[in-house]
Amino acid sequence: MTCLSGLALASGLPGCGGLSDRPVIVALNRWLGYEPLCLALREGWLDPGRVGLLETASATESMRALLDGRADGAALTLDETLKVRAAGLPVSVVMVCDISAGADMLVARAGIRRLSDLKGRTVGFEASALGALMLEEALRAAGLNKTDITPFSVSIDKHRQAWKYRQVDAVVTYEPVASQLLADGGIKLFDSGQVPNTIVDVLAMRSDVLDFSHARAVRHAVAAHFMAVNHLYRNPYDAAYRMAEHLGFSAAEVLPAFKGIILPDERDNYRLLGGAAPELLRSAGKLSRLMLENRLLAREDSLAALLNPDYLPKDF
């Protein structure tokens, strides 16, 4: 609601601030890694006249908003960003919002002790780029091929059911389902902490707003995100209460929910996006190849102008 009113204000101020200060609209769905931007708006760190937040029901809807031109940028996973680029809209990553470092995992039944024991078993996974990526990484760690197992495509909302009815011996899943399966006797054999900087959520902006007239607004959005992240780190009690309602949690559930999720700070962002060989570029290359193999992309992404660290704060 607050996010939407921010948008209303933004659209109510056409061309505010003249040529050098045009507003931008960012689409985002409700997710822990995107919550700092919403917190920044509620706390007044994000000027709604400069950056409008368009809250969507899902990442798919955010992508659609971006493709329709209703948004200038969107908070997406890296594979969704590649999909948007494949759909013909050039976008660049200006910031990494969060990194999964353990929140995505492969959970197996109690009898399966080692990853190599997965040979000949049925492994459930979500037929998304990230599901395929996690499965491949887990198999690589196990020294197995995809032919060694029986892959079983199952969407996240059916993971518990597939587990309960023993349709799968193991499943590539993520929070909060992962914790539920672990509580149900599952054993974690592999998690995203073992494949650093691979599963990331980013702020992707349309390349045509990465110009002089929108630079201040984009920089403002990025800076506001970091202010909120800083508040979460420095005063977690207060941040938890202020995030709870919007995330649909109780205050006590907020901080545990961040388990397995890294909110990279400015310095980490520079490491991921900037320099001669940005770390995220390698992950993107791997992801692009994998998406091609799984027919999620028609051809590999050129990765040209995919990362843009110019909007990260310089002074931190």
Partner 1 sequence: MPPTKTGHFGHALMKCLSVLQLCGVLACLPVAAAGESVKIGILAYRSKPQTLAQWQPLAAALKQALPDRDFAIETFDFDELALAVASRQVDFVLTNPGHYIQLSKRNGLSAPLATLALNDRDPERAIMAFGGVIFSRADDAGIDTILDLKGKTIAVTGIDSLSGYQLQAYEFQRAGGNLSQQAKLLQTGMPQDNVVDAVLNRRAEVGLVRTGVLEELAGEGKLDMRQIKIINRQQLPGYPHLLSTRLYPEWPFAAMPQTDENLARHVAAALFMLEENKAATRAIGIHGFGVPADYTAIADVLRDMRVPPYDVVPSFTLKDIWLRYQWPLLAALLIIGAFLLLTLNLLLVKRKLVVQRKLLLEQKQQLVDNETFLRTLIGTLPDLIWLKNADGVYLACNPRFERFFGAEEQTIVGKTDYDFVDKASAGSFRAHDMLPCKRTART
Show the tokens assigned to 248: 């649909």
Should residue 316 be labelled a site residue for partner 1 when binding is judged by CB under 8 A? no
Q: How far is the CB of 238 from partner 1 (least distance, A)?
A: 4
Closest C-alpha to 78, from 118, 128, 12? 128
Residues 240-299 that bind partner 1 (CB under 8 A): 241-242, 244-245, 250-252
CB-nearer residue toward partner 1: 207 or 230: 230
Binding segment (CB under 8 A) for partner 1, from list 3-11, 188-196, 234-242, 294-302: 234-242
CB-nearer residue toward partner 1: 162 or 244: 244
Binding segment (CB under 8 A) for partner 1, from list 65-73, 95-103, 238-246, 281-289: 238-246
Q: How far apart are CA 304 and CA 306, in angstroms?
A: 5
- Contacts with partner 1 by CB under 8 A: the residue count is 12
- Interface residue with partner 1 among 5, 15, 237, 282 (CB under 8 A) is 237
- Report long-range pairs for 186-189 (Cβ below 8 Å, ≥24 apart): 186/107, 186/108, 186/109, 186/110, 187/107, 187/108, 187/109, 187/110, 187/112, 187/113, 188/105, 188/106, 188/107, 189/105, 189/106, 189/107, 189/108, 189/112, 189/114, 189/115, 189/118, 189/138
Q: How far is the CB of 42 from partner 1 (least distance, A)?
A: 10
Q: How far is the CB of 251 from partner 1 (least distance, A)?
A: 4
Binding mask 187-226 for partner 1 (x = CB under 8 A): ----------------------------------------
Show the tokens assigned to 142: 């196990």
Binding segment (CB under 8 A) for partner 1, from list 3-11, 214-222, 229-237, 287-295: 229-237
Should residue 9 be labelled a site residue for partner 1 when binding is judged by CB under 8 A? no
Q: How far apart are CA 107 and CA 183, in angstroms?
A: 11
What is the phi-psi region of residue 306: left when phi exceeds 0, alpha when psi lies from -120 to 50, beta otherwise? Answer: alpha
Under 8 Å between Cβ of 27 and 56: yes
Where on the chain is the footprint of partner 1 (CB under 8 A)?
Answer: 234-238, 241-242, 244-245, 250-252
